[in-house]
């Protein structure tokens, strides 16, 4: 996430934006605290009370979280309300009620000198100051009392510090994770949406502890955390609502920890222990059915140090046979793991021989093509790409398009206009995998200026012919890139839907404002004849406002009056029309 705070309104769905603004204006945002530099926590009232957390860095919101169940988009109305709160001075907004009042760092009082106002301490600064003043006895008493009151806090506290009183082991973390899962489970052991969020928060804290352990060189402790989290969360994901990705995210984090250990650990004993764990987990099919079952072999390759370990890995890789039935991701992944092992133990020459011998693996063909281009061996790159096209055109056309794209790049490097135009034209007309705009501008660059007008007209005709149904946006884009406003307007006349009018409006406003108003007027009437429901009424009213912005206030008022008469029984529509 990266939403510039000073223009967040441009990056958020209009509906959510309006609701968030209403929440702010009604004073629903309370108790806004800066936890530390750029990290904010707020309470937002709604149907319930929700906690919102925002992280701001370099003027942009890079992360946000809300305890509400909304999961239809990147941000909810409560998070937007807090953004309005943070930007209220810049936007000139006021809420009915405020829990805190923002004060300018400088103020003028009756012509006196400007006095500096002391900045409010962040929550983190306040905590640090309090902790410095508390005696060990007071701290011990508070923690003990809070552990009695809050089971989740007690479990996390034990997870972090149990190693101080007993030898560190995977069992310690397994028990604590199970305790967290049990507290979040319902009557029948199922973890619902709210429970999954609770588990995700707890596992994130454990992940942060594991990261600190890795950074401090406490490899074994981090390894046990990662292994316990991977195993327990794999079980949990089968009995939980992971629609928000909290449980799956914990599994990803656990794997990140194990791979970090594999890459950074300097203790050969711990590396050996983790190696044995990875092969044992694969052998016992601990994670079978999930992607990370095969990731255990990849982890083993990362950890491999001896010839015996290499032999053991190859034993399992040899068992993954090709299916020869189209896409064979498992076998291709096994080939990549074997390549990694060859690179590590036998060197680049042997690795290159293995790539050449298994060129049907698209990752290998891609690597060899890029290597040939880097070495300016363009003839080899062309040969590899053309063979790839021949091999994949029938069964894997999308992959064949990629090889054509590599050909296009080689021909550009060779400054071969004829072949550049041929490949760019093919990809523009037939492939949705690459940027149409990029292909278009490549063609325009290489087609002689004197021939471009005719070439463009033929290209439009071919694009229309190549589409199963005419894509308005595709053809409109071509006219927009060429600034052919008359042709663009003619295209719109033939396809006057609300979405199409809105798509080209900004390009045609200068010359065709009144005509756009008329098109909106007809399209809104058609839209309301075919659609009912408040969501559709809001859409119609959104376009009525566009009519106003185009200078069509009079026609908008007439249309609204007609709609009020025609659809008088539609109460929701009447309410939405009141807001126009």
DSSP class per residue in 300-311 = HHHH--SHHHHH
Which residues lie across from 65 on neighbouring strands?
53
CA 163 to each of CA 126, 181, 206, 265, 535: distance values in angstroms, whole numbers, following the listed order: 29, 21, 14, 20, 56
What is the structure's pLDDT at 353?
A: 97
Partners of 57 in beta bridges = 60
Confidence check: pLDDT of 31 > 90: no
Structure tokens at 545: 């406002």
The Cα 219–Cα 215 span in angstroms is 9
Give the whole-angstrom CA distance, residue 76 versus residue 70.
6
State the average pLDDT over residues 28-40: 82
Does residue 113 carry a pLDDT above 60?
Answer: no
Question: Does residue 404 register a pLDDT over 80?
Answer: yes
Is residue 114 predicted with pLDDT exceeding 50? no
pLDDT at position 263 is: 95
Beta-carbon count within 10 A of 157 CB:
16
Kindly report the backbone phi and psi dihedral angles of residue 336, in degrees, each rounded to the nearest multiple of 5, phi listed first: -65, -40
- Least-confidence region, from 57-66, 99-108, 286-295: 99-108
| Long-range CB pairs of 431-438, under 8 A, 24+ apart, other chains included | 431/398, 431/401, 431/404, 433/398, 433/401, 433/402, 433/405, 434/401, 434/405, 436/474, 436/477, 437/477, 437/481
Task: Name the most confidently modeled range: 92-96, 273-277, 532-536.
Answer: 273-277
Q: How many CA within 13 A on the CB side of residue 166?
A: 9
Please state, in angstroms and rounded to a whole number, the distance separating the CA atoms of residues 41 and 45. 13
Quote the pLDDT of residue 166.
73
Indicate the domain borders of the chain: 3-100, 148-266, 361-466, 494-578
82-99: string of b/e by CB count within 10 Å (b at 16+)?
Answer: bbbbbbbeeeeeebeeee
CA–CA separation, 386 and 503 (whole Å): 39
Distance CA 63, CA 45 (A): 21
322 CB-near residues (< 8 Å, 6+ apart): 328, 331
What average pLDDT score do residues 371-392 get? Answer: 96
Tokens 């928060």 label which residue? 201
How long, in residues, is the chain? 580
CA 250 distance to own-chain centroid: 16
Q: Mean of the pLDDT values across residues 292-299?
A: 96
Strands (E), 180-326: none
Tokens 């005696």 correspond to what residue? 135
SS3 28: coil
pLDDT: which is higher, 247 or 67 = 247
* Cα torsion through 454, 460, 461, 463, rounded to 10: 140
Helix axes 498-530, 553-566, angle to 10 degrees: 20
Please name the fold of domain 361-466. Answer: 1.25.40
How many Å apart are CA 469 and CA 50, to the nearest integer?
Answer: 47
| Dist. CA 533–CA 571, nearest whole Å | 10
- Mean pLDDT is highest, among 123-127, 182-186, 479-483, for 479-483
DSSP 44-105: EESSSEEEEEEEEETTEEEEEEESS---SSS--HHHHHHHHHHTHHHHT---S--SS----S
Q: In angstroms, rounded to a whole number, what is the distance separating the alpha carbons of residues 217 and 222?
A: 9
Alpha-carbon distance of 64 to 41, in angstroms, equals: 10
Q: How many CA atoms lie within 13 A of 553 on its CB side?
A: 2
Please list, in sequence order, all residues whose beta carbon lies within 8 angstroms of the beta carbon of residue 97, skipping any fewer than 6 positions away.
27, 30
**pLDDT-based confidence at residue 30 (cuts at 50, 70, 90):** confident
Structural contact between residues 55 and 62, judged by C-beta atoms closer than 8 angstroms? yes
Dump pLDDT digits (tens) for 68-110: 877 667 789 999 999 999 988 888 787 875 444 444 333 343 3
Cβ count within 10 A of residue 287: 18
Residue 185, token pair as written in the block: 């489970």
Query: And the tokens for 516?
Result: 């756009």
533: exposed, middle or buried (C-beta count within 10 Å: 0-12, 13-18, 19+)?
A: exposed
pLDDT at res. 105 = 37
| pLDDT score for 169 | 86
For residues 536 and 543, what is the distance between their CA atoms, to the nearest angstrom?
Answer: 11
For residue 70, the model assigns a pLDDT of 76
d(CA 274, CA 575): 64
Tell me what pLDDT residue 106 has. Answer: 33
pLDDT at 326: 62
For the chain, the average pLDDT equals 88
CA 52 to CA 275: how far, in whole Å?
41
Element (H, E) at 413: helix 397-413
Q: How much is the pLDDT for 121?
A: 65
Six-digit token pair at 175?
A: 């028990």
Tens digit of each residue's pLDDT (9 = 90 or more) over 164-219: 777 778 998 998 899 889 888 887 889 998 889 889 988 998 999 999 999 999 99
């Amino acid at each position: 996430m990266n939403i510039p705070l000073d223009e967040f309104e441009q990056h958020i769905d209009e509906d959510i934006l309006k609701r968030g603004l209403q929440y702010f204006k009604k004073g629903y945002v309370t108790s806004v605290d800066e936890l530390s530099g750029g990290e904010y926590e707020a309470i937002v009232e709604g149907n319930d009370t929700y906690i919102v957390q925002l992280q701001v860095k370099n003027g942009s919101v890079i992360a946000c979280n809300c305890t509400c169940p909304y999961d239809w988009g990147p941000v909810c109305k409560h998070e937007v309300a807090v953004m309005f709160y943070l930007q209220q001075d810049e936007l000139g907004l006021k809420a009915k009620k405020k829990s805190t009042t923002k004060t300018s760092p400088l103020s003028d009082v009756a012509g006196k000198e400007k006095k500096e106002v002391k900045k409010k301490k962040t929550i983190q600064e306040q905590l640090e100051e309090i902790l410095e003043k508390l005696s060990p006895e007071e701290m011990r008493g508070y923690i003990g009392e809070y552990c009695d009151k809050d089971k989740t806090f007690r479990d996390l506290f034990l997870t972090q510090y149990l190693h101080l009183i007993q030898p560190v082991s995977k069992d310690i973390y397994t028990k604590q994770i199970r305790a967290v899962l049990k507290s979040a489970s319902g009557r029948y052991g199922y973890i619902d949406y709210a429970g999954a969020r609770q588990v995700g928060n707890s596992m994130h804290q454990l992940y942060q502890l594991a990261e600190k352990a890795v950074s401090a060189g406490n490899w074994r402790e981090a390894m046990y955390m990662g292994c316990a989290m991977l195993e327990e969360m794999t079980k949990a994901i089968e009995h939980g609502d992971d629609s928000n990705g909290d449980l799956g995210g914990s599994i990803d984090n656990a794997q990140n920890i194990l791979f970090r250990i594999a890459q950074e650990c300097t203790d050969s004993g711990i590396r050996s222990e983790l190696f044995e764990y990875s092969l044992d987990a694969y052998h016992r099919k601990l994670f079978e059915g999930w992607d990370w079952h095969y990731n255990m072999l990849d982890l083993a390759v990362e950890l491999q140090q001896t010839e015996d370990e290499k032999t053991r890995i190859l034993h399992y890789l040899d068992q993954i046979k090709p299916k020869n039935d189209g896409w064979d991701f498992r076998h291709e992944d096994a080939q990549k793991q074997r390549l990694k092992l060859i690179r590590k133990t036998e060197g680049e020459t042997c690795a290159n021989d293995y790539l050449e011998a298994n060129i049907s693996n698209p990752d290998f063909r891609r690597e060899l093509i890029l290597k040939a281009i880097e070495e300016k061996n363009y003839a080899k790159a062309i040969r590899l790409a053309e063979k790839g096209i021949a091999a994949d055109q029938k069964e894997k056309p999308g992959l064949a398009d990629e090889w054509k794209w590599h050909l296009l790049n080689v021909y550009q490097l060779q400054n071969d206009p004829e072949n550049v135009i041929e490949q760019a034209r093919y990809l523009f007309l037939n492939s949705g995998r690459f940027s149409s705009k990029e292909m278009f501008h490549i063609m325009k660059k290489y087609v002689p200026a004197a021939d471009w007008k005719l070439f463009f007209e033929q290209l439009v005709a071919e694009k229309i012919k190549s589409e199963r149904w005419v894509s308005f946006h595709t053809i409109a884009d071509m006219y927009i890139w060429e600034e052919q406003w008359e042709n663009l307007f003619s295209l719109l006349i033939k396809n006057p839907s609300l979405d199409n009018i809105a798509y080209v409006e900004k390009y045609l406003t200068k010359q065709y404002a009144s005509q756009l108003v008329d098109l909106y007027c007809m399209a809104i009437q058609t839209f309301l004849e075919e659609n009912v429901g408040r969501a559709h009424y809001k859409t119609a009213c959104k376009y009525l406002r566009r009519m106003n912005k185009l200078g069509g206030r009079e026609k908008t008022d007439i249309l609204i009056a007609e709609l009020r008469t025609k659809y008088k029984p539609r109460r929701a529509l009447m309410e939405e029309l009141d807001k126009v």
